[in-house]
Structure 1
Amino acid sequence: MPVKLIGGFVLGPRAISISGAFDLIPILSGLIIHMLVSAGLGGVFAVLSLRLPQVTIALYGVVYALAIWFLALFVLLPVVDPLLVNNTNPALFAISHIIYGIVLGAWVGLRV
């Protein structure tokens, strides 16, 4: 369901109109949007991390991901995708961003 909700960014409420059913268009659009945003934000972090001490990059990855979580949940998504905000568990959303930050920081730390 979260991927379909992300697809709601372009499809609106139609993205989840068939609750529980497999619907390829909302799923694909949600996956594409999510991967593009994640890759773009990861690239921004990689550039910013060039100035950070390598030892703490994983920690900075978590801080960066939590900043993204906060801005997304409370600033950006209420405007661009209220369907996602209204159907998302904020705690689970935060945990998924923390995991993203750990992986991002560790991966960038290995590359730098």
Structure 2
Amino acid sequence: MERRESVQKGKSVVQSVSSRESVDAVTVARSFGRGLLGGLIATLVMTAYRIPIARSLPPTAAFWAQFVGEKEASEYPIHGLVLHLVYGMVGGGIFALLFERRVVESGHMDEKHGTVWGAVYGFLLSVFGIHVVLKRVLRMNPQSDERFIFHVSHLIYGVTLGAWLGSRAE
């Protein structure tokens, strides 16, 4: 009888752990989903700022032309914009996983903290974008005014993403 009880207890412990893992997986999925939506919104805001000022497509059109297409980047405006949105969404999902865990642990779940962390994230993405994606991968060397707009655009992305997620963090 005692053995049976321990087996039953063992099952309940296993069920309890499985339930906890299931809840954690659901929490992670919801967080990532919020990040995808936030990334879409932030990318749209960033793009609305950037395109009229830079008067050019995002560098993702050049990425598409170099690695997928066979024509010049100007021939891939839709591909470039869609790829840009996908990158922004995935970046939002990753940020949500990083940010929401940090704010839950700290107990600060609000727009202010989201905006600050988003600004940091946007800055880091911008530095990575300039030094790795543009210079090394695409062999582009943007002029100083182009780099400035690139940095400001990514700061806008990060601030928008962080504020939006901060207003929705669970």
TM over 0.5: yes
Per the shorter chain, which TM-score range? Answer: 0.7 to 0.9
The alignment status of 1:61 with 2:118, answered yes or no, reads yes
Q: 1:5 to 1:49 in 2, by over 3 A?
A: closer
Match of 1:26 in 2: 76
Q: 1:46 to 1:86 in 2, by over 3 A?
A: same
Q: Deviations over 1:48-79 (max 9, x none)?
A: 11122324111000000000000110123222
Question: What is the alpha-carbon distance in structure 2 between the residues aligned to residue 36 and residue 102 of structure 1?
Answer: 18
Whether the 8 Å CA contact 2:96–2:165 is kept in 1: the answer is yes
Q: Deviations over 1:9-38 (max 9, x none)?
A: 12137114xxxxxxxx41111101100100
Under a length normalisation based on structure 2, what TM-score does the superposition of the two structures give?
0.54
Under a length normalisation based on structure 1, what TM-score does the superposition of the two structures give?
0.79
Whether the 8 Å CA contact 1:61–1:102 is kept in 2: the answer is yes
Whether the 8 Å CA contact 1:4–1:15 is kept in 2: the answer is no
Whether the 8 Å CA contact 2:58–2:84 is kept in 1: the answer is no
Match of 2:164 in 1: 107
Q: Show structure 2 runs of 5+ residues with no match.
A: 1-54
Match of 2:9 in 1: none
Identity of counterpart residues, as a percentage? Answer: 28
Task: Name the count of aligned residue pairs.
Answer: 103
